[in-house]
Chains A and B, each alone.
Chain A
Amino acid sequence: MHAALLEIADDCLVLGHRLSEWCGHAPMLEEDLALPNMALDLIGTARGLYEHAGALEGKGRGENELAYFRGEREFVNCLLVERPNGDFAQTMLRQLYFAAFMEPYWRAATASADPVVAGIAGKAVKEVAYHIRHAGEWVIRLGDGTGESARRMRAAVAALHRYTGELFESSPAAGAAEAAGVLPKRAECRGEWDRVIGMVFAEAGLEAPAVSHMQTGGRQGIHGEALGHLLAEMQSLARAHPGAEW
């Protein structure tokens, strides 16, 4: 069961770290606050999931071991969340794609057979609703904005849409957790995701491209080059000073 929880925990940690990279670099003060706030929500969710996954695994690994002392091939996040921030349009679209999946996912997970998962879901579902709204409003503003902002939003869709198919795929580990009623079926989040993305794209004047081949592999630990660089930065301090507390 812990392997399935790690997939979601890794999604939240990696995306949370990506958002934290904007801290001090956002285009305006409000976004400089908003992006790290969302990062905190995601990292907070990841911490609860790691703690629980470590306890279920029973090998004495806690949140620090799981976050800082696993290599690239051991991370099982989906490819979407590790994509580089790119420009603001790409960051916001990536957030919308992920949040629009997690909202129905967490909502269903509040009925999990595992009370710890249900508790984590009960908090996360309320937070992710804010993420959808924030990212959705930006996608509409940029897509329906100036010629330049619309061009960048379309480029973001062209770059990221191919990573959305993996959100709905269940690995063998996730499939077992779904069968046990611990985690929701990912494929069943598709309808709500389509509805939200369709609504935002219609207002933003964007079109979802027909993608002949969706990129997958993250759940098997097969990642793009981007994840290694992210982990190198995120893990370097903990690895240089193993066991340090502050």
Chain B
Amino acid sequence: MSDLARRAWAVAAAVPDPEIPVVTLEDLGILRGVEEEGGTAVVRLSPTYSGCPATAAIELSVAEALAGAGIAARIERVLTPAWTTDWITAEGREKLRAYGIAPPVAGGKASLFGEGPDVPCPRCGSVATERVSEFGSTPCKAHWRCTACGEPFDYFKCI
């Protein structure tokens, strides 16, 4: 990686998600690569959900951050391979939990009418939790509640 690409990576990696500002793009695993092309940093980003309104906001934030750092850059949207919640880093998962969002549970991918995953409550850690709705306040979240401590919470659902 060239020096320019390395600097561009550091700037882009630190950009916060516009909806969940405690996690960075690197934490989410949507920063897919940075390469230098004749003095321009080509930054490749992957969208989370097809219709996620944050996709355009994220690209704009990255472009602004790079411009602010004096780096000439071009943003490329990468669809293949499709982003998966498996790419959220361990640090990102812990930040989500501390923020009150239960991170995706391994093996929790939607199986047709199968049993759902055990999702620990981000507040008390109990797995005595239940799904209220598969669809929450943003495309990536489901709405759950904890029957042990009574807290409603968001669950970052697996895709």
Chain B associates with chain A:
yes
A binding-site residues for B, Cβ under 8 Å: 16, 30-31, 33-34, 37-45, 47-48, 115-116, 118-120, 122-124, 126-127, 129-130, 132-134, 136-137, 196, 199
Question: With the chains together, A8 CA to B82 CA distance in Å?
Answer: 19
Known: A33-B133, A37-B139. Is A132-B112 also a contact (CB below 8 A)? Answer: yes
Question: With the chains together, A42 CA to B139 CA distance in Å?
Answer: 12
The total of Cβ contacts below 8 Å across the A-B interface reads 88
Q: List 7 A-B contacts (CB under 8 A).
A: A33-B137, A34-B135, A40-B49, A40-B50, A119-B82, A122-B80, A129-B110
Chain B interface secondary structure, helix, strand, loop or mixed? loop
Question: With the chains together, A4 CA to B6 CA distance in Å?
Answer: 42
A30 contacts B82, C-beta separation under 8 Å: no
Least CB distance from B62 to A in Å reads 19
Partner of A116, one of B79, B132, B137, B143: B79
The 6 closest A-B pairs by CB, nearest first: A44-B51, A119-B79, A44-B50, A40-B51, A122-B82, A34-B135
One digit per residue, 1 when the CB lies within 8 angstroms of any chain A CB and 0 when it does not, for chain B 82-115 equals 1110000000000000000000000001101100
Chain A interface secondary structure, helix, strand, loop or mixed? helix
Residue ID in chain A nearest B116 by CB atoms: A133
Question: With the chains together, A199 CA to B111 CA distance in Å?
Answer: 14
Judge if B14 is at the interface, Cβ distance under 8 Å.
Answer: no
Known: A40-B51, A41-B50. Is A115-B113 also a contact (CB below 8 A)? Answer: no
Judge if B16 is at the interface, Cβ distance under 8 Å.
Answer: no
Known: A37-B139, A45-B50, A48-B50. Is A136-B113 also a contact (CB below 8 A)? Answer: yes
Q: Which residues of chain B come closer than 8 Å to A48, judged between CB atoms?
A: 50, 79
Q: Which residues of chain B come closer than 8 Å to A33, judged between CB atoms?
A: 133, 135-137, 143
B49 contacts A134, C-beta separation under 8 Å: no
